[in-house]
Amino acid sequence: MRRRSLLALPLLAAALPRPGLAQAPGRPLAVASFSILGDMVRQVAGDQAALRVIAGPDTDPHAFQPRPSDAEALRGAAVLVRNGLGFDAWFDRLARAATAARPPVMVTATEGITPRSMEAHAHSHGGMERRQQHSVGPRRIPDPHAWQDLRLAQDYARTIARGLAAAGIAAPEGEAFVQRLAALDAWVRQQVATVPEARRRVITAHDAFGYFGAAYGIQFLAPQGVSTAAEPSAAEVARLIRQIRAEGITAVFVEAATSPATLERLAQEAGVRVRGRLYADALSPPGGPAATFEAMVRHNVGLMVPAMRGEA
Ligand code: ZN
């Protein structure tokens, strides 16, 4: 009897939840496909849900390749949150593989949003489209980067709050978050209004700011298409260099989580200076300049506005 209990004790201890695991006992688990959505879930749910993020800070969600352990992270989730519009299709595959036994609520943050369409550049998603491009000309595809428009980000927050509710998770901070995003939207408009209209042009690594540009009246130019998956063509880079020189564009940026090489070369050849790193598709780690979605927007606008104005 005594021996049995001695044997049983370590087994029992091993089965208890270990401190430091994300999923505290009793708290339902929410899993978000990438860091920006993860922060939105956190802002909306507060501490009502345990949270896991698959494509974390400083990780490019376009090029993300899930590992088997990522499928494991979805196990037991009450709710899954994805962007949709083709952005995080890898997350759908993970979800199918990991959660067959008890399907969680799947939230598509862009549900109900009318997407912008964008030109699928020849290189946007690799070989297949490149071949199609040569035979059928530019194709239009939905632009997935809708979070960059802060009015649409408010829709994201409401959609996430509804999805959490459907999974039995309270969203006590949801309305406060929506209000902060509305205030942030007004602040961005104020900031952009200080830039002369003719100077509202920004060059960055890939077409991530279409919604931002449309919402706030800024023209974004990028050598790389909607995805970060492939190299831009030499012709496209040369065209941008001519445009920078001809129009006196001063706002040139690299992007976090993507290679800076093309933009640095482009800036050098055009004789302008790279003005810093914008955060487009991923947050920075905690302690960085874009650790939350709101901090990301303030960081980006704080760099873009003086750069567009041509200030030193
Ligand atoms: Zn992107």
Q: Is the pLDDT of residue 134 over 90?
A: no
Distance CA(107)–CA(80), nearest Å, equals 6
Greatest distance between any 2 Cα atoms in the chain:
88
How many angstroms does the Cα of residue 208 sit away from the middle of ligand 1? 5
- If one counts every other C-beta atom within 10 angstroms of the C-beta of residue 117, the result is 12
In this structure, what token pair is assigned to residue 153? 């980000």
Q: Is the pLDDT of residue 3 over 70?
A: no
Q: Is the pLDDT of residue 234 over 90?
A: no
3-state SS assignment for residue 38: helix
Query: Token match 């044997």: residue?
Result: 7
How many angstroms does the Cα of residue 154 sit away from the middle of ligand 1? 19
Residue pLDDT, tens place only, 190-202 = 999 999 999 999 9
Indicate the pLDDT class of residue 17, thresholds 50, 70 and 90: very low
How many angstroms does the Cα of residue 282 sit away from the middle of ligand 1? 9
How many angstroms does the Cα of residue 206 sit away from the middle of ligand 1? 7
How many angstroms does the Cα of residue 146 sit away from the middle of ligand 1? 10
Mean pLDDT of 169-192: 97
- If one counts every other C-beta atom within 10 angstroms of the C-beta of residue 52, the result is 19
How many angstroms does the Cα of residue 225 sit away from the middle of ligand 1? 9
Distance CA(124)–CA(62), nearest Å, equals 10
How many angstroms does the Cα of residue 83 sit away from the middle of ligand 1? 12
How many angstroms does the Cα of residue 46 sit away from the middle of ligand 1? 27
Indicate the pLDDT class of residue 6, thresholds 50, 70 and 90: very low
Q: Which range is most confident: 92-96, 133-137, 260-264, 282-286?
A: 282-286
224 with 121: CB under 8 angstroms?
yes
Arithmetic mean of pLDDT over the chain: 86
How many angstroms does the Cα of residue 283 sit away from the middle of ligand 1? 12
Distance CA(57)–CA(43), nearest Å, equals 16
Tell me what pLDDT residue 32 has.
Answer: 98
Q: Is the pLDDT of residue 47 over 90?
A: yes
How many angstroms does the Cα of residue 205 sit away from the middle of ligand 1? 9
| Percent of residues, the chain, with pLDDT higher than 70 | 83
Q: Any idea which of 11-15, 66-70, 182-186, 241-245 has the lowest mean pLDDT?
A: 11-15
In this structure, what token pair is assigned to residue 79? 């709710």
- List CB contacts of 138: < 8 A, sequence separation 6 or more: 119, 120, 121
How many angstroms does the Cα of residue 72 sit away from the middle of ligand 1? 26
158 with 174: CB under 8 angstroms?
yes
Ion ligand 1 residues within 5 Å by Cβ: 208, 281
How many angstroms does the Cα of residue 145 sit away from the middle of ligand 1? 6
In this structure, what token pair is assigned to residue 128? 């297949």
Mean pLDDT of 253-281: 92
Mean pLDDT of 10-32: 58
Q: Is the pLDDT of residue 14 over 70?
A: no
Mean pLDDT of 87-102: 85
How many angstroms does the Cα of residue 19 sit away from the middle of ligand 1? 36
How many angstroms does the Cα of residue 246 sit away from the middle of ligand 1? 27
What does the DSSP assignment read for 153-186? HHHHHHHHHHHHHHTT---TTHHHHHHHHHHHHH
No. of helices (H) and no. of strands (E), the chain: 11, 10
Instruction: Tell me how far the alpha carbon of residue 69 is from its chain's centroid.
Output: 21
Indicate the pLDDT class of residue 230, thresholds 50, 70 and 90: low
Tell me what pLDDT residue 146 has.
Answer: 98
How many angstroms does the Cα of residue 82 sit away from the middle of ligand 1? 14
Burial class (CB in 10 A: 0-12, 13-18, 19+), 221: buried
Tell me what pLDDT residue 286 has.
Answer: 96
How many angstroms does the Cα of residue 61 sit away from the middle of ligand 1? 8
How many angstroms does the Cα of residue 29 sit away from the middle of ligand 1? 26
Tell me what pLDDT residue 135 has.
Answer: 44
Residue pLDDT, tens place only, 109-125 = 999 999 999 877 533 43
Tell me what pLDDT residue 38 has.
Answer: 98
Mean pLDDT of 134-144: 73
Distance CA(167)–CA(105), nearest Å, equals 6
How many angstroms does the Cα of residue 76 sit away from the middle of ligand 1? 29
Q: What are phi and psi of 213, to 5 degrees?
A: -60, -45
How many angstroms does the Cα of residue 308 sit away from the middle of ligand 1? 22
The Cβ-side half-sphere exposure at 79, using a 13 Å CA radius, reads 29
Q: What are phi and psi of 5, to 5 degrees?
A: -70, -35
How many angstroms does the Cα of residue 144 sit away from the middle of ligand 1? 8
The total number of residues written for the chain in this structure: 312
